[in-house]
Amino acid sequence: MKVTFTLLIFLFAALTLNAENGHDLWLRAKHTAPVNVVCSGKSPTLEIAKQELHQGWQGKANATFVLKKKHDKLIKGDGYRLSPDGIEANTDLGLLYGVYDLLRRQQTGEPITEQVENPSYERRILDHWDNLDGTIERGYAGRSIFWHGKDSLAVTEKDKKLWQEYARADASIGINGAVLDNVNASPLVLTTEYLKRVQAIAEVLRPYGIKTYLSVNFASPSVIGGLKTSDPLDPQVKEWWKNKAKEIYKLIPDFGGFLVKANSEGQPGPQNFGRTHADGANTIADAVKPYGGIVMWRAFVYSANDEDRAKQAYNEFMPLDGKFHDNVIIQVKNGPVDFQPREPFSPLFGAMKKTPVMPELQVTQEYLGQAVHLVFLAPMWEEFLKSDTYQEGKGSTVARCTDGSIFQQTHTAIAGVANVGLDTNWCGHPFAQANWYAFGRLAWNNQLSSDQIADEWVKLTFKPTPAEDRTHSTVLPIVWNINFLKPVKRMMLESREAAVNYMMPLGLHHIFAPENHYGPGPWWAPKGVRKDWTPPYYHQADTLGIGFDRTENGSNAVSQYHEPLRSLFNDVNTCPEIYLLWFHHLPWNYQTQSGLTLWDDLCYHYQEGLDQVRSFQKTWDKAKPYVDKERFSVVQKKLRKQCINAQVWKDACLLYFQQFSRMPIPYNIERPVHNLKDLIENDMKRKR
């Protein structure tokens, strides 16, 4: 009887859910109860705050809710004090953030008690790797929302509407900055015609508290400024940057500053002129300093030789500690190599004591299945932020080393490489929206758990809206929680580990096919290519074993970490197994903690990854009655592809490594269904 009743509810729900194309993201709630908003102030930001309350209120009908600006020492920056009857903040933006928090709590059922919420970082920024021609480097959700090419610099109403929707989504999760162009920057962005478009974007983003920033090309003074050099110590070059800053701030008074990728992957930088990264960063920083601007200087650099890639950034930047001016922040990718499915944290976190460092996370899933695989990244970022660097003893987590808790810093910041494009659903994959959401939430509060973020996002994104509930009295909340929320959340929380399992378990890294970084390519090593761009450099597989020896006997990358981590990573018996082959080269018959040989353990991990994706397919198929047809079918199709890809990963890696291990694949593991030769020939790039 109970089963039949539940079944009826399923069927009814499936028939009545409105079709959704995903464009509304986590901001779907529209039909609500009336509320009386009391707010004496006036500003574009406050207008938005009031409108959001009227549009999204789900509290008691006709209640009175007060928005009040009030100086309170406990409230920092754009933080706020929330209570059931109102919000207090030092700034208009604080009130807007409070409103979004309140509405989120009303929709998700989280308690609304009296509490102060302050942001972990002063600057919470999305880096758009958008090229001026409208393409996006590592973008998987269509073309740029900001740029359409040189012939389309005029701003249309359509552009403005989209930028406003984008700004609203950002503000609703606390993001307050956007770098509008690719770090592989075109000098043209600093020419007047492009700056005019930046000005127009800034005007739309401003009421939502989003500052605009630009990535700049270090050679701009010579390329567009007509100077003979871009040497940062040349007086004319310094003057050029100062004049450029003046021009920008005249157009955009609240401009945030510059992001610079220098001397990396072919980008020009101070080293072209025999100068240091500090010389380069300081010249540009001095130019924006009078206006309160900052320079985010990337530590993603390469050394001239192919000495362990994981050591290069630290080696380059540590000697410069204390040499940067106080409006420079060094932007460091979470891991020492490059946004891999799993890396230990970069040793540059918790290293410098006189130079602020900001984390750079990658929201766009360059190395994690792009817009095809369902991979929720919050667990990866949580693992990273909670990693203990031991900089000032136990408890010096990456979060605390970067948010100003350990050292007083003039500026604190965090950046995420955006996954946003012109696709109707913004991110390509409906579940990729969760990564945009998670980045914003963690940038606001770096202590949040992945579980809580997933919980919020699933409720906001999939829960029947009040309108659907009222019209159709569809799913009982408890039924929805058990049959949808719980399993879908579990799937999300498991998804990152699944990707690690089917792509590169036990500390393997960077064994991707070249260029597109999507499928496996552990074999790829053409002559003439920098060794540290090829997978065999990273996995080091031979008949004796596999893994990169970064111990004292190897590259000694372990020495870049503080004790006790250094010794922990150095000793194979204490090194966490998730990083085993990152730090150690081990024989194939090495016995892992599971009691298995390394080879067998590797095989089981790949199989487990594949099995996990299969279980995600089942979870999603079972969730069908609770999702509108449109989003259900998009995700179902993508999961099928993910499963096919996971199979390819498993077969490719096991068959390739088996050539070295010369050991059988354990017999209770499914046999490969591909031939290695075919896989190598039909690179997954062409199969996608």
Catalytic residue positions, numbered: 265, 338, 366
Residue 496 sits in the site that holds ligand GCV (CB under 6 A): no
- Closer residue to ligand GCV in complex, CB, 103/183: 183
Nearest to 22 by CA among 316, 506, 461: 461
Q: How many of the chain's residues bind ligand GCV (CB under 6 A)?
A: 10
Q: How far is the CB of 316 from ligand GCV (least distance, A)?
A: 15
C-alpha to C-alpha distance for 162 and 169, rounded to whole angstroms: 11
- Closer residue to ligand GCV in complex, CB, 409/435: 435
C-alpha to C-alpha distance for 479 and 483, rounded to whole angstroms: 6
- Closer residue to ligand GCV in complex, CB, 432/655: 432
- Closer residue to ligand GCV in complex, CB, 48/216: 216
User: Which of 95, 173, 183, 294 lies at the binding interface for ligand GCV (CB under 6 A)?
Assistant: 183
User: Which of 238, 261, 277, 584 lies at the binding interface for ligand GCV (CB under 6 A)?
Assistant: 261
Q: How far is the CB of 517 from ligand GCV (least distance, A)?
A: 6
Residue 538 sits in the site that holds ligand GCV (CB under 6 A): no
Own/partner pairs, 482-485, CB within 8 angstroms, 24+ separation: 483/6, 483/10, 483/622, 483/623, 483/625, 483/626, 484/458, 484/623, 484/626, 484/627, 485/455, 485/458, 485/459
Query: What angle (nearest 5°) sits at the alpha carbon of residue 227, between those of residues 224 and 230?
Result: 85
Which tokens in the block code for residue 672?
């490969």
Residue 300 sits in the site that holds ligand GCV (CB under 6 A): yes
- Closer residue to ligand GCV in complex, CB, 127/601: 127
Binding to ligand GCV, residues 88-147 (CB under 6 A): 129, 137-138
C-alpha to C-alpha distance for 260 and 232, rounded to whole angstroms: 13
Q: How far is the CB of 183 from ligand GCV (least distance, A)?
A: 5
For residue 91, with 0-12 CB atoms within 10 Å meaning exposed, 13-18 middle and 19 or more buried, which class applies?
Answer: middle
Binding to ligand GCV, residues 552-611 (CB under 6 A): none
Classify each residue of 363-385 as buried b or exposed e, where b means 16 or more C-beta atoms within 10 Å of its C-beta: bbbbbbbbbbbbbbbbbbbbbbb
Residue 238 sits in the site that holds ligand GCV (CB under 6 A): no
Which tokens in the block code for residue 381?
């970022």
Residue 78 sits in the site that holds ligand GCV (CB under 6 A): no
Radius of gyration of the chain (CA): 26
Q: How far is the CB of 165 from ligand GCV (least distance, A)?
A: 25
Query: What angle (nearest 5°) sits at the alpha carbon of residue 276, between those of residues 566 and 396?
Result: 30
Residue 69 sits in the site that holds ligand GCV (CB under 6 A): no
Binding to ligand GCV, residues 191-220 (CB under 6 A): none
Residue 309 sits in the site that holds ligand GCV (CB under 6 A): no
C-beta neighbour count of 156 within 10 angstroms:
10
Is residue 130 within 8 A of residue 124, CB to CB? The reply is no
Is residue 484 within 8 A of residue 623, CB to CB? The reply is yes
- Closer residue to ligand GCV in complex, CB, 129/480: 129
Q: How far is the CB of 581 from ligand GCV (least distance, A)?
A: 21
Residue 338 sits in the site that holds ligand GCV (CB under 6 A): yes
Q: Applying CB under 6 A, which residues contact ligand GCV?
A: 129, 137-138, 183-184, 261, 265, 300, 338, 366
